[in-house]
Amino acid sequence: MSTTSSGERRVIGNVLKGSVGNLIEWYDWYVYAAFSVYFAKEFFPEGDTTAQLLSTAAVFAVGFLMRPIGGWIMGRYADRHGRRSALTLSVTVMAAGSLVIAVTPSYASIGLVAPVLLVIARMLQGLSVGGEYATSATYLAEVASPGRRGFYSSFQYVTLVAGQLIALGVQIILQLTLPAEAMQSWGWRIPFLIGAAGAVAVMWLRRTMDESEAFTDEVEAKRDADTSDDAPKEGSLRMLLQYPRECLLVCALTLGGCVAFYTYTTYMQKYMINTSGISKDTVAWINFAALLVFIVLQPIGGALSDRIGRRKLLIFFGIGGTVLTVPLMTVLGTTTNPIAAFALMMLGLIVVTGYTSVNAIVKTELFPTKVRALGVGLPYALTLAIFGGTVETVALALKRAGHESLFFYYVTGCIAISLVVYFFMRETSDGSPLDRTSNREDTPDDDVELVDARS
């Protein structure tokens, strides 16, 4: 009994250590989105507000374009050298990116060099987050207790959203303590300095985490096995190509979920300000309250998936997102009532929980240990770069062109495509590679089927 309790405490400790690092990474990532309404004028030439926001959104998308490279580099590194080492490296790169943004002078001071440095910093952050998602998802799933993997893995989005929430909290505090002119000229730099300092602290914390047992077992199995020189190496693209169906499934799972997530979180702030006409300060409070509830929903969804399966929650998201997105966004765009805006945003986030609470565990259950981090990271990051990273750019461009409502149908279409896949896919928790021995993981014959008509 005591051994079991001790083991569970160790699991909880590792999950907490991995989650705190994940929180800082995503805080640094979301500070950019939260404060872009302030620093847009500092990095780009004078123009109308939508044009400047469009410029910062384009740089935001550049960060997403780097995420596949980060997913490849960090995933490969994690599969070869361990999850702990890769997680420590990713947070180091994030600290560098945040520090560059914090100290870069304005466009008025150094001209075009300012947006160039902003792009470079965002590229570093994109590399970091591209590796962070896959490696942290893999680590949390591998260290979790069997039968509770959905619950523990859901903490990836708990800390992901908590990072965004803390970014908004810092924004609210600065809004209350600094005049608008100060926020515009230098106050926005403070959260980037906080993020850089936090990332440095996490570098030390992550060095104290246990390596996942699944990875250490894989290392031992490889050491004992007699493998040929021409066999594909762990985390290599050659090995990943042995799992094409799983890669396609990760892309399909991600499409609707990432577009919906960034619509109802990152873009929602700008939508309420630009379209609904709600003040910046009020929108910050609405987002803070909604995301706080959203965090609580994640472990509930994860624990539920351990009981009823992952697929049913994904279908709930797919149906809800397909049916509700257009009416929800349309009504939200016409209201200035903060309570009504909060309720509408919260409705969207409840639906999105069907995806966010299980997406990490679903993807990690598709691949064996030797290629898990790369298998989750690369196809996910590619899909995110194409669709998730361009959400704001597409939305703002359509608004500027006078066809904002087309964006609602775009989101609906992406979710509907994923819904088709959710409906036909098999339940990934059945026969998960996470529950298999290393010997059985060594063969691609154990691949998880892409689709299965069973419920």
Q: With residue 325 as reference, give the H or E element that holds it.
A: helix 310-332
187-191: list long-range contacts, CB under 8 Å, 24+ apart: 187/38, 188/35, 188/38, 188/39, 188/42, 189/101, 189/102, 189/103, 191/31, 191/34, 191/35, 191/167
Q: Are the C-beta atoms of 170 and 17 separated by less than 8 Å?
A: no
User: How many CB atoms sit inside 10 A of residue 330's CB?
Assistant: 13
> Are the C-beta atoms of 25 and 94 separated by less than 8 Å?
yes
Instruction: State the Cα–Cα distance between residues 95 and 428, nearest whole angstrom.
Output: 35
Gap between the Cα atoms of 132 and 79, Å rounded? 13
* Structural domain contains residue 230: no
Q: For residue 370, what pLDDT is reported?
A: 85
Place of tokens 């990051």: 381
Q: What is the pLDDT of residues 297-354, one digit of tens each?
A: 999 999 999 999 999 999 999 999 999 999 999 999 999 999 999 999 999 999 999 9
Contact (Cβ atoms closer than 8 angstroms) between residue 310 and residue 358: yes
When mean pLDDT is compared over 172-181, 225-234, 442-451, the highest value belongs to 172-181
Where is pLDDT greater, at 301 or 53? 301
In a domain, 124, yes or no: yes
How many domains is the chain partitioned into structurally? 1
Q: Which DSSP category does 46 fall into?
A: S
Position 309 in a domain: yes
Closest C-alpha among 359, 330, 454, 442 to residue 133: 359
Would you state the pLDDT for residue 234?
A: 63
- In Å, the largest CA–CA distance within the chain is 68
Give the pair of three-digit tokens for residue 341.
């805006």
pLDDT for 202: 83
- Answer yes or no: is pLDDT of 150 > 50: yes
Of the spans 92-101, 120-129, 230-239, 249-258, which averages the highest pLDDT?
Answer: 249-258
The pLDDT value given to residue 65? 78
Task: Give the residue with greater pLDDT, 44 vs 404.
Answer: 404
- Judge whether 186 lies within some domain: yes
Q: Report the distance separating Cα 179 and Cα 294, nearest Å.
A: 30
- What CATH number does residue 138 fall under? 1.20.1250.20
pLDDT 10s digits, 90-125: 888 888 888 988 888 877 778 778 888 888 888 888
Q: Which of 38-42, 418-422, 423-427 has the highest mean pLDDT?
A: 418-422
What tens digit of pLDDT does each residue of 399-409 get? 888 888 999 99
Whether the predicted pLDDT of 135 surpasses 50? yes
Low-confidence winner among 31-35, 39-43, 45-49, 85-89 (lowest mean pLDDT): 45-49
**Is residue 229 scored above 60 in pLDDT?**
no
The answer to whether the CB of 93 falls within 8 A of the CB of 128 is yes
pLDDT digits (tens, 9 = 90+) for 359-393: 989 999 998 888 888 988 899 988 988 898 788 88
Domain that holds residue 281: 8-206+241-446
Residue 440 has pLDDT above 70, yes or no: no
From the list 178, 365, 341, the residue with the least C-alpha distance to 273 is: 341
pLDDT at 8: 74
Residue 104 included in any domain: yes
Determine contact, residues 444/242, Cβ cutoff 8 Å. Answer: yes
pLDDT band at 442 (very low <50, low <70, confident <90, very high): very low
Is the pLDDT confidence value at 61 over 70? Answer: no
- Structural domain includes residue 110: yes
What is the four-CA torsion angle of 77, 80, 83, 86, rounded to 10 degrees? Answer: -20
Answer with the residue of higher pLDDT: 228 or 19. Answer: 19
The per-residue pLDDT for 169 is: 84
In a domain, 302, yes or no: yes
pLDDT of residue 40 exceeding 80: no
Q: Residue 325 has what pLDDT?
A: 96
What's the whole-number mean pLDDT along residues 80-93? 86
Task: Please give the mean pLDDT across all residues of the chain.
Answer: 83
